[in-house]
A = this chain, B = another copy of it.
Amino acid sequence: MLLCDIGNTSYHFYNGTQDFRYSVDEFNPQSIAEQTFYISVNHTLKQKLHNLTNWIDLERFIDRKQFYETMGIDRIVAIETIKNGVIIDAGSAITVDVVKEGGFEGGFIYPGMNAMAQCYKNISSALDYSFNFELDLGKMPKNSQDAISYGYLKPFVDEIKSKNLPIILTGGDALEFKKIFPDAQLDQELLFKGMKKIITKANLC
């Protein structure tokens, strides 16, 4: 049995002991013969996988009523794993969800680091820098790289901290974000834990 969380840019697998990623553009889901329970925010792939009998979409076993209609299934699955905290899923988009006493308080979506770097670059080649995650966020910047790094990171960090809740970090860029949230708990298996919970609840295996 495999678990798979499909995002906009990658398939993220878990085989019970290890997790691994494949690019959405390069990976062929037909190359997997094992039974694979998955969730997907990627609607094009969802359509494709529908025809593969060993790929089982967990979305139909999830109760959406606490959430809003267009909310990404990955966020819902992650939320189901914790009782109190802010979940930051740092992928091509960054989703931030607040959970208090097991209830969903709401959440927001922020661009992922690659999308945001591309965004600055698209505005002007003068803003073509990578982000400095080691920046001192206590000081107003006085150079271009720090000016965009601060713009991307400082307001975001303060917003998260203002919730005064434990922070759980997951997603492909979680390690970078750990630098600016040193006290956060890093959990690359968060979504898989949520998926296992759903499988057990629905008696799927």
| A contacts, CB < 8 Å to B | 8, 41-43, 67-72, 92-93, 96, 98, 104-112, 115-116, 118-120, 122-124, 126-127, 139-144, 146-148, 150-152, 154-156, 158-159, 162
Q: Bound complex: CA of A107 vs CA of B71, how far in Å? A: 35
Q: Which of B69, B150, B158 contacts A108 (CB 8 A)?
A: B150
* Cα distance, A142 to B109, chains bound together (Å): 11
Q: Is A118 touching B120 in the complex (CB atoms < 8 A)?
A: no
Report whether A119 and B111 are in contact in the complex, using a CB–CB cutoff of 8 Å.
yes
Residues on the B chain within 8 Å of A155, using CB: 110, 155-156, 158-159
Contact A158 B162, CB 8 Å, known A70-B126, A119-B118, A144-B70: yes
For residue A120, which residues in chain B have a CB less than 8 angstroms away from its CB? 93, 109, 111, 115
Distance to closest chain B CB from A143 (angstroms): 5
Copies of this protein in the assembly total 2
Q: Considering only CB atoms, which chain B residue lies closest to A156 in the complex? A: B155
Separation in Å of the A203 CB from the closest CB of chain B? 30
In the assembled complex, the CB of A164 is this many whole angstroms from the nearest CB of chain B, namely 13
Q: Are B68 and A107 in contact (CB under 8 A)?
A: no
Contacts of A41 in B (CB 8 A): 124, 126
Minimum CB–CB distance for A96 against chain B, Å:
8
CB distance from A115 to the nearest CB of B (A): 5
Q: Which of chain B's residues have a CB closer than 8 A to the CB of A126?
A: 41, 43, 70, 72
| A106 adjacent to B139 (CB under 8 Å) | yes
Q: Within 8 Å CB of A162, what residues of B?
A: 158
Compute how far the CA of A106 lies from the CA of B115 in the bound complex, rounded to whole angstroms.
25
CB-CB under 8 A from A146, the residues of chain B are 108
Q: Which residue of B lies closest to A162 (CB)?
A: B158
Contacts of A148 in B (CB 8 A): 108-109
